[in-house]
Amino acid sequence: MYSDAVKTGVEKTPHRALLKATGLTDEEIQKPLIAVVSARNEIIPGHTELNKIADAVKAGIRLNGGTPVEFPAIGVCDGLAMGHTGMKYSLATRELIADSIESMVMAHGFDGVVLIPNCDKIVPGMLMAAARLNRPAILVSGGPMLSVRHNGEFCDYNTTYEAVGSFKAGTINEEELKGFENDACPTCGSCSGMFTANSMNCLSEVLGMALPGNGTIPAVYSERIRLAKHAGMRIMDLVSNDVKPSDILVPDAFYNALRVDMALGCSTNSMLHLPAIAHEAKVDISMDMANDISKVTPNLCHLAPAGKHHVQDLYEAGGVQAVMNELSKKDLLKLDVKTVTGKTQGENIKNAYVKNYDVIRPIDNPYSQTGGIAVLKGNLAPDGGVVKRSAVAKEMLKHTGPARVFDSEDEAIEAIYAGKIVKGDVVVIRYEGPKGGPGMREMLSPTSAICGMGLDKDVALITDGRFSGATRGAAIGHISPEAVAGGPIAFVKDGDMIDIDIENYRISLLVSDEEIDKRRQGWTPNEPKIKTGYLKRYSKLVSSGMFGAVMIDD
């Protein structure tokens, strides 16, 4: 056992003394030591109740002969960080989470790891740590928030942003705005649409690192506690059989994840996180691969923000396993891959079925024959840009309009709320990439403002930053190379015509190469807006968004 390094032999008498100082008995020390990494805190709605998940996990570990030892992980609430300097720290915490878990597990010789996240960057950060450590590991999340009716319509966190836009446009009053505020987030859990947190919790099942149900069982259901207990029991079997993440996170697992990503219409942030997890697992995936899969994967779900359904509806319709079973009817998945259940994915989904074809479309009658995410390329984005195609109005799949250029999200929001953006415009927000931001901010505020003001079928947004999983409309993020690296987005001027063709995976700046080269002469990039502390180091080491925004230190 790995833990022998801290507990076995006469030489480890001092180590055992320290373990006993925590209250552990000889009997507990002799058993496998299992790290229980909980991201519980009192600021993220998805994390406030993770203590219950951790307690259930520890009960499961003890039931199956192990000794659980809990320690914390940090987490940023993307919603609370949205629209101000705090969002620059969100993506960057993914690397801190992975690094800190690696440090704790290696320093203390744990035999296995149970990871308990729930929200945006915490899920991929923990999976990155699992892949890097390559010790038996399993993930169990806290589960999604419920959605409740407001004025007859189910609402969610994203609804509040659009309500702000409606209020600014004068279509709702202050009392109505307060109503949305009170009803949008009615329970603990990750926000109720197919936003980034729920996307990654669902894809954790598909990758094989979480038990079936991980992505969709609501946070407030007792079934979630039972799932956590089973995760605690399963880690002991993984330890006993020495099943490691490298046995599970194989190329075919990522192939499956990209397939289901497209079928579900997940957050565009999955195009950051899946490559980052694959990087740690030493698996090669690319945006070209993602596009190839998207082109031939039917989009089966329109969950909020793409449609009216929420994750609770997906749960009731059969969950991720039912979506996978539907895809398997046309041999679109690799079913022989191992999972933390001890079974293959094929065995896991064998008895799953769709209980509501309004929520999960049948494979022969999808929303579209192509996947929910598309990667666009062209002279404006030589390395690519990402859009949630399933959340784009049909009218905006092809659009040509004049650029309105802003060097920060803040400037763009000010212009939108001031009514300076009009039908047909293409809003360009640059110097918000991983290096240039630094931190690659999510931009739910400007996209929601545009939607709330009724312009989502008339205005496009492009950025070298990224968009929230809650974003809908023609919002194209991850434009690479980013502005600070001299990408073409740095040389766009107000009034330049930009052509967007999502159906044909193209985005073009309608300016000649000669003119772009002329603008490039004598150019110097804007400096990152934060030049101290962690973000200074992050800016120096982080790679392009199209490569997962991973840290490159060699």
Query: Any idea which residues carry the catalytic annotation?
Result: 468
Q: How far is CA 416 from CA 363, 433, 445, in A?
A: 40, 21, 10
Q: If you write DSSP's letter for every residue of 512-533 in order, what string do you get?
A: -HHHHHHHHTT--PPPPS--SH
Q: How many CA atoms lie within 13 A of 138 on its CB side?
A: 31
In this structure, the strands spanning 426-429 and 381-387 are unpaired
Angle at 76 between CA 133 and CA 315, to 5 degrees: 80
Residue 470's nearest CA partner among 321, 307, 314, 315 is: 307
Reference 450, options 459, 441, 463; nearest CA is 459
Strand order in the sheet with 67-72: 67-72, 33-38, 112-116, 137-139
**Contact status, residue 157 vs residue 192, Cβ threshold 8 Å:** yes
Pairing of strands 398-406, 497-501: antiparallel
Give the list of residues 6+ apart from residue 473 with CB closer than 8 angstroms, or none.
391, 392, 393, 396, 447, 450, 451, 456, 457, 459, 460, 461
Long-range contacts, stretch 175-181, CB < 8 angstroms, 24+ apart: 179/150, 179/151, 180/150, 180/155
Q: Which amino acid is at 226?
A: R
DSSP 8-state assignment for residue 109: T
